[in-house]
A and B are shown apart, each in its own frame.
Chain A
Amino acid sequence: MTIQLSHFSSAVLFAVFASVVFGITQRNEPREMVRYGLYCFAMFTGGVIVAGWVMWLIRR
Chain B
Amino acid sequence: MANSSTTKTKPAEPLVQAAPITFMSVLAPAIAWLIPGAGHLIQKRWGRGVLLMISIIAMFLLGLAMEGRIYKPNGGDILDMLGFVGNVGGGGLYILTRAFDWGHGAIAHATADYGTKFLIVAGLLNFIAVADAYHIAIGKKQ
Contact = CB atoms under 8 A, between A and B. Distances in A.
Interface of A: 1-7, 10, 13-14, 16-18, 20-22, 24-25, 28
Given A5-B66, A5-B114, A25 B58 contact: no
A10 B52 contact: no
Contacts, number: 60
Contacts of B94: none
Prevailing SS type, chain B contact patch = helix
Contacts of B67: 2
Nearest to B36: A21
B96 interface: no
A13 B121 CA distance: 12
B65 A20 contact: no
Nearest to B54: A20
Contact of B52 (A1, A4, A6, A21): A21
Contacts of B125: 17-18, 21
A6 B105 CA distance: 17
Contact of A2 (B58, B66, B118): B66
Contact of B65 (A2, A14, A28): A2
A4 B58 contact: no
A6 B110 CA distance: 9
B80 interface: no
A16 B114 CA distance: 15
Given A13-B62, A17-B59, A25 B131 contact: yes
Nearest to A5: B111
B8 interface: no
A21 B89 CA distance: 14
Contacts of A18: 121, 125
A11 to B, nearest CB: 8
A18 to B, nearest CB: 6
Contact of B121 (A14, A16, A20, A24): A14
Given A5-B111, A18-B121, 17 more contacts: A1-B65, A3-B66, A5-B114, A7-B114, A10-B66, A14-B114, A14-B118, A16-B55, A17-B59, A17-B122, A17-B125, A20-B52, A20-B55, A21-B129, A22-B128, A25-B128, A28-B142
